[in-house]
Amino acid sequence: MLSCRHLITFSALILLGLPLFASSQVFKSQEASFKLETVAGGLEHPWSLAFLPDGSMLVTERTGRLRVIRNGELSSKPVPGVPVSAATGQGGLFDVVLHPGFEKNRTLFLSYAHRSSEGMTTRVARAIFDNNKLENVTVIFEALPRSGTSRHFGGRMAFDASSYLYISVGDRGEMNRAQDTGDDAGGVHRITVSGEPVPGNPGIDDSGINNTLFTWGNRNIQGMTAHPITGDIWTHEHGPRGGDEINVLRAGTNYGWPEITYGIGYSGIPITLSTAKDGMAQPLHYWDPSIAPSGMAFYTGLEFPEWQGNLFVGALKMRKLVRLKIENRQIVEVEDLLTSLAERIRDVRTGPDGNLWLLTDSPQGKVYRVVPAQ
């Protein structure tokens, strides 16, 4: 006889149209054993994953395509209507997030690198996803000024409990821009779904701070998620050689880059001799050497009760999944998972089926589902 937990799993699999089997290899963490299911493959550098109410999924490819996975199959045709992105250097199509009221309004948001005669930048567009295509595509955010570099676009997004949208913009490889509050680079921006600055943003009453900026001193954030209980926005960002950070966002906070860092320059020469300064936030956790973090999610499902409330972070350079246990807003345990898989983990999500989902970054990228071993 199937247990209640297995019945829930079985129903969820039918709803998602996914295979009812997992790979034979068992991976073990300190808290649980698990397997991987390959849900889709053949994706060109997938970057972000979003779950639709009908059980299908949207996946962005950095090369500029938005793809649909429905009934367990990757659609051969990309979604039409996606804005043109600049897939050069670290640029391309980045995050896809659904409006909190998506089930009624069919609205979603895409972040991407955009090129004009004035250079490249990070943009966000709002669109309606209906009948398997995008309509009413409107640019609601553009980081200024543009520059000629093709690095550090940021591009992660998340909604808070008030349905305000947070957008990360990297320092564009020009580190001192992160300390200039009149520059959109090197920070996190908070806007309404129409693209307006949110009342209460630090720059609303301060002409020296751009009015959409929420934080600054951020090098290149590629992981962002809302805490399931407090609603706080948590982020991680790439350090240089060492110094990848996890932070909790606070309005008007300077996170220090490049005035303070636990990393050094790629040449081996220190960027600064300081790891702390008055008025600049300390990270909750940092990695040295760098793992090149990407993707970030709190586990909130029922399939792995041992992982409830744990934070999961993907790693590109170190090719692993990192589990972090948190107590009283402090990270008390760090565990590396999937090191033998040897794949670049680009995105991490908790799915509506109660499992953990992963994207791998390669020319033949995959969508994995993490399921209990038993």
Domain segments of the chain as ranges: 42-294
- Catalytic residue numbers read 152
- Tens of pLDDT, residue by residue over 126-169, are 999 999 999 999 999 999 999 999 999 999 999 999 999 999 99
* Euclidean distance between CA atoms 167 and 185, whole angstroms: 11
Percent of the chain scoring above 70 in pLDDT: 94
CB 173 within 8 A of CB 152: yes
- d(CA 129, CA 364) in angstroms, rounded, equals 26
**pLDDT tens-place string over residues 22-80:** 567 999 999 999 999 999 999 999 999 999 999 999 999 999 999 999 988 999 999 99
Largest distance between two CA atoms of the chain: 66
Task: Supply φ then ψ for residue 177, to 5 degrees.
Answer: -65, -25
**CA 309 from centroid of its chain's CA atoms:** 17
Q: Give the model confidence (pLDDT) of 207-240 as tens digits.
A: 999 999 999 999 999 999 999 999 999 999 999 9
In degrees and rounded to multiples of 5, residue 267 shows phi and psi of: -75, -10
pLDDT at 219: 98
Q: Determine the pLDDT at residue 310.
A: 98
Could you give the 3-state DSSP secondary structure of residue 252?
Answer: coil
C-alpha 154/C-alpha 168 separation (Å) is: 5
Of residues 370, 221, 368, 186, the one with CA closest to residue 293: 221
pLDDT mean across residues, the chain: 94
> Which pLDDT belongs to residue 22?
53
Question: What mean pLDDT comes out for the span 298-314?
Answer: 97
The answer, yes or no, to whether the previous bond of 289 is cis (omega within 30 of 0) is yes
Give pLDDT tens digits for 99-116. 999 999 999 999 999 999
DSSP string of 309-350, one letter each residue: T-EEEEETTTTEEEEEEEETTEEEEEEEE-GGG---EEEEEE
Q: Which CATH superfamily is domain 42-294 in?
A: TolB, C-terminal domain (2.120.10.30)
User: What is d(CA 91, CA 112) in angstroms, rounded to the nearest whole number?
Assistant: 7
pLDDT value of position 118: 98
Q: Strand 65-70's sheet: what is its strand order? A: 46-51, 57-61, 65-70, 73-74
Say how far apart CA 372 and CA 35 lie, in whole Å. 6
pLDDT band (50, 70, 90) for residue 95: very high
Residue 261 corresponds to which tokens in the numbers above?
Answer: 């860092």
The arithmetic mean of pLDDT across residues 257-271, rounded, is 97
**How far is it, in rounded angstroms, from Cα 186 to Cα 173?**
9
Report the distance separating Cα 1 and Cα 74, nearest Å: 33
Residue 35: predicted pLDDT: 97
Q: How far apart are CA 241 and CA 270, in angstroms?
A: 10
> What is the model's pLDDT at position 9?
43
pLDDT for 289 = 96
Cβ(167)–Cβ(192) below 8 Å? no
| DSSP code for 306 | G
pLDDT confidence of residue 8: 39
Tokens of 23: 């790979």
